[in-house]
Structure formats: C-alpha cells, structure tokens
Amino acid sequence: MLIEIFGPGCAKCHETEKLARAVLNEAGLDAQVAKVTDFKDMTARGVFATPAVAVDGALKCSGRVPSRKELLAWFGK
C-alpha cells in the first residue's frame, strides 16, 4: 500500500503524516508513506488544498487533517 501525504511542509501537513504513520503502526499495517511537496505534482493529481491524502493513487481528502477513523477505513481496517 502506498500512502501519499501532499503538502509543502506546514504544521497540518506534518500532523497528517504523523497521524497516518501512527494509525498504520497501531493497526499493524505495512505501507510506504511518501511526502509530495512539489506544487506541480500536487496540481497534476488534483490537489489544490493541503494537507491531502491519497491511498494507492486514489485521493481520499484534501484541505484538512483526516480523523483516525477515516484513516483506518482508507487503510482497510
């Protein structure tokens, strides 16, 4: 599974990455977490508000920090 966190590195982007990694760890899931910071890459993927999260290429949310419950659902738990 590939989890992509989109954002330039703001506090909410860091919070989203930290939360995603914590949820993966707590659920015992193995996944690659990648940060996407290039604005051209973000807009090409349809991300116009950050933070944003994509799971295996599918954009799940944009412009907010997701909840633990949402992340677990997206990660298949």
The residues annotated with a catalytic role in the active site are: 10, 13
Assess contact for 32 and 2: CB atoms under 8 A: yes
